[in-house]
Chain A
Amino acid sequence: MHLTDEEKQMLEGGDGEGVQQAMDFLVKLGNAFGAERMVEIASAHPAGCGYRVAGEGALRFLKWLAGTGAKVRVPATLDPICCDLERNQVLRIPDEFFQKQSQMNDAFRTLGFGFTFTCLPYWTSVAPKFGDHIAWGESNAVAYANSVLGARGNREASLTCVLAAVAGRVPEYGVHLPENRHGQILVRVETSLEDPADWRAMGAYVGKHAWDKIPVFTGLPSRISSVQLKDICGAITGPWGTMPMFHILGVTPEASDLETAVGGRVLEDVETIVFRKKEIEEAYEMMCTARLEHIDLVTVGCPYMTIEEIRTMAEVLRGKRVCKGVEFWGWTDRATRLIAERMGLVEVIEAAGAQLLSDTCMVTTPLEKSAYKFKVVATDSAKAASYVPGVGKPDVWFGTLAQCVQAALTGRWRGRTSG
Chain B
Amino acid sequence: MYEDHSMKRVHILRGHTVSPGYAEGTALVTRLPLSFHGVSMERETGIVRWKGHELEGKSVKDMIVVMDTGRGSTGGSWALYSLKTVYGTAPKGIVCRKADPITTAPAILAGIPMVDKLDQDPCEVIRTGDYVKVDATRGIVEILKADG
Contacts from A to B (Cβ < 8 Å): 25, 28-29, 31-33, 46-49, 53-58, 60-61, 79, 137-139, 154-160, 174, 238, 364, 390-391
Residues of chain A within 8 A (CB-CB) of B85 are: 57, 60-61
Residues of chain B within 8 A (CB-CB) of A79 are: 75
- Do the beta carbons of A159 and B73 come within 8 Å of each other? no
Residues of chain B within 8 A (CB-CB) of A61 are: 78, 81, 85, 109
Interface residue tally of chain B, by bracket?
20 to 34
Taking the closest CB of chain B, its distance from the CB of A136, in whole angstroms, is 9
Residues of chain A within 8 A (CB-CB) of B51 are: 390-391
Q: Which of B4-12, B60-68, B100-108, B119-127 is near enough to bind chain A?
A: B100-108
- Do the beta carbons of A158 and B20 come within 8 Å of each other? no
Any A CB within 8 A of the CB of B133 = no
Closest to A239 in B: B73
- Do the beta carbons of B105 and A156 come within 8 Å of each other? yes
The CA of A265 and the CA of B132, in the complex, are separated in Å by 42
The CA of A353 and the CA of B101, in the complex, are separated in Å by 43
Taking the closest CB of chain A, its distance from the CB of B81, in whole angstroms, is 4
Q: Mark B77-103, 1 if CB is under 8 A from A, else 0.
A: 111011111100000000000010110
Known contacts A28-B20, A31-B17; is-contact A57 B74 (Cβ 8 Å)? no
- Do the beta carbons of A154 and B101 come within 8 Å of each other? yes
Closest to A48 in B: B75
The CA of A60 and the CA of B82, in the complex, are separated in Å by 9
| Interface contacts beyond A58-B82, A159-B78: sample of 11 additional A-B pairs, CB < 8 Å, sorted by A | A25-B105, A25-B109, A47-B73, A54-B78, A55-B79, A56-B86, A58-B81, A60-B86, A156-B105, A159-B109, A391-B49
Residues of chain A within 8 A (CB-CB) of B81 are: 57-58, 61, 159
- Do the beta carbons of B82 and A159 come within 8 Å of each other? no
The CA of A378 and the CA of B85, in the complex, are separated in Å by 38
- Do the beta carbons of A32 and B75 come within 8 Å of each other? no
The CA of A56 and the CA of B106, in the complex, are separated in Å by 14
Taking the closest CB of chain B, its distance from the CB of A79, in whole angstroms, is 7
Q: Mark B7-49, 1 if CB is under 8 A from A, else 0.
A: 0000000000111100000000000000000110001000001
The CA of A75 and the CA of B76, in the complex, are separated in Å by 23
Taking the closest CB of chain A, its distance from the CB of B101, in whole angstroms, is 6
Residues of chain A within 8 A (CB-CB) of B38 are: 53
Closest to B16 in A: A32
Known contacts A32-B99, A159-B106; is-contact A47 B82 (Cβ 8 Å)? no
Closest to A21 in B: B109
Contacts from B to A (Cβ < 8 Å): 17-20, 38-39, 43, 49, 51, 73-79, 81-86, 99, 101-102, 104-106, 108-109
- Do the beta carbons of B39 and A57 come within 8 Å of each other? no
The CA of A79 and the CA of B105, in the complex, are separated in Å by 19
- Do the beta carbons of B75 and A55 come within 8 Å of each other? no
Taking the closest CB of chain B, its distance from the CB of A218, in whole angstroms, is 29
- Do the beta carbons of B77 and A56 come within 8 Å of each other? no
Residues of chain B within 8 A (CB-CB) of A47 are: 73-75
The residue that B78 contacts in the complex, of A32, A155, A158, A238, with Cβ under 8 A, is A158
- Do the beta carbons of B39 and A158 come within 8 Å of each other? no
20 example contacts (A-B, Cβ-Cβ < 8 A) are as follows A25-B105, A25-B109, A29-B101, A47-B73, A48-B74, A53-B75, A53-B76, A55-B43, A57-B78, A57-B81, A57-B82, A61-B85, A139-B73, A154-B101, A157-B74, A158-B74, A159-B106, A238-B73, A364-B75, A390-B51
- Do the beta carbons of A158 and B75 come within 8 Å of each other? yes
Closest to B102 in A: A157
- Do the beta carbons of A160 and B105 come within 8 Å of each other? yes
The CA of A55 and the CA of B78, in the complex, are separated in Å by 7
Taking the closest CB of chain B, its distance from the CB of A39, in whole angstroms, is 15
The CA of A319 and the CA of B81, in the complex, are separated in Å by 50
- Do the beta carbons of B74 and A32 come within 8 Å of each other? no
Taking the closest CB of chain B, its distance from the CB of A130, in whole angstroms, is 23
Taking the closest CB of chain B, its distance from the CB of A143, in whole angstroms, is 12
- Do the beta carbons of B86 and A57 come within 8 Å of each other? yes
Residues of chain A within 8 A (CB-CB) of B105 are: 25, 29, 156-157, 159-160
- Do the beta carbons of B77 and A157 come within 8 Å of each other? yes
The CA of A274 and the CA of B53, in the complex, are separated in Å by 30
